[in-house]
Amino acid sequence: MNIEMIRAAADRLDGRARVTPLLSSPFLDDLAGRRVLVKAECLQHTGSFKFRGAWSALSAMDGATRANGVFAYSSGNHAQGVALAARLHSVPAVILMPSDAPAVKIANTRALGAEVVVYDRATESREEIGTALAAERGLTLVRPYDEPLVIAGQGTAGLEIAAQARALGVSEAEVLVCCGGGGLTAGVALALEAEAPRMRVHPCEPQGFDDTARSLDAGEIRSNPSPSGSICDAIVTPAPGELTFPILKRLCGPGYVVGDDDALRAMAQAFQRLRIVTEPGGAVALAAALTRSKADTVIAIATGGNVDPTLFTRALETL
């Protein structure tokens, strides 16, 4: 992985992915006691940054391979990103989703034209189902994070952050990233290493699913005790990736860990102060910006906004 791969991904994404705005509010600055900038990736196509990596991967495949179709497993945001990227390339997509994924994510993935295969996390192995499906139908797996082309695509958000912050006169900041497997975190860290070396990336995770923070502390990969059970479904993964972790270890940390209540309160602040919709797993970086960071300037990525209305209403009740 290197910066040239991210720049090449940016060329492929040009005119396809949205350049999402870097938002701010004097009210958030007051609340946090520091300057807070929010990169609104919830406004990206499909409502999360995942479209970047999916488009990066599909657009780099050779045409014949891509034409056979692609395959992904995901609780929902990678699913939608791959589904839309496949639709825009007019190739089939099969997505394996756990039965406890948010309803809106399953519905959206289907509506984007993908074939959704639902499995039971407790009793079935997605790897087994996936391997069989892929072999049988000649599909190419698009990994959610441990894939260089995906990391490069997610890293384009970092190139935008560097340029947008520079336009505001900001060159030094903590950059907080909602972190699951670490694809976005690694990509953004690589982009900023090249473009804004005085910014340091801190992965942000929910309590109980802080595998990345613990792995960074330990200097080696640690796993989560439980595979599911957080409202932050988008960023619950077993452990940092084999490709992403060495990048995180070299460039990022320490990690910030926030409670579910902090995430819900951050969603409410994003609603009221920025007028954007975030999901819990997309709001943990803003939550950390409001409650954990001690930097003068903090840039939080609002990574996703695919949330069921009842959960969003619960967040609003914190206001």
> Residues interacting with its own copies, by CB under 8 A?
15, 18-21, 23, 26-27, 40, 42-43, 47, 84, 104, 108, 111-112, 167, 268, 271-272, 274-278, 305-306, 309, 312-313, 316-317, 319
> Residue 19, SS3?
coil
**Nearer to its own copies among residue 34 and residue 214 (C-beta):** 34
Q: In this structure, what DSSP letter does residue 139 have? A: P
**Minimum distance between the CB of residue 4 and its own copies, rounded to whole angstroms?**
27
**Cβ-proximal residues to 62 (8 Å cutoff; 6+ apart), any chain:** none
**Minimum distance between the CB of residue 43 and its own copies, rounded to whole angstroms?**
6
**Minimum distance between the CB of residue 59 and its own copies, rounded to whole angstroms?**
18
Encode burial over 191-210: b for 16+ CB neighbours within 10 A, e otherwise: bbbbbbeebbbbbbbbebbb
**Minimum distance between the CB of residue 79 and its own copies, rounded to whole angstroms?**
15
Q: In this structure, what DSSP letter does residue 48 have? A: B
**Minimum distance between the CB of residue 121 and its own copies, rounded to whole angstroms?**
25
Joined tokens for residue 271: 């609603």
Q: Return d(Cα 284, Cα 305) in angstroms, integer.
A: 12
Cis peptide before 254 (omega within 30 of 0): yes
Q: Return d(Cα 66, Cα 56) in angstroms, integer.
A: 13
Q: Return d(Cα 57, Cα 143) in angstroms, integer.
A: 9
Taking the mean position of all CA atoms in its chain, how far away is CA 16?
18
Beta bridge partner(s), residue 1:
none
> Residue 25, SS3?
coil
Q: In this structure, what DSSP letter does residue 1 have? A: -
**Nearer to its own copies among residue 72 and residue 270 (C-beta):** 270
**Nearer to its own copies among residue 257 and residue 276 (C-beta):** 276
**Nearer to its own copies among residue 235 and residue 276 (C-beta):** 276
Taking the mean position of all CA atoms in its chain, how far away is CA 181?
9
**Nearer to its own copies among residue 277 and residue 298 (C-beta):** 277
> Residue 127, SS3?
helix
**Minimum distance between the CB of residue 138 and its own copies, rounded to whole angstroms?**
27
**Nearer to its own copies among residue 84 and residue 204 (C-beta):** 84
**Minimum distance between the CB of residue 84 and its own copies, rounded to whole angstroms?**
8
**Minimum distance between the CB of residue 51 and its own copies, rounded to whole angstroms?**
12
**Cβ-proximal residues to 27 (8 Å cutoff; 6+ apart), any chain:** 272, 273
**Nearer to its own copies among residue 75 and residue 306 (C-beta):** 306
**Nearer to its own copies among residue 244 and residue 306 (C-beta):** 306
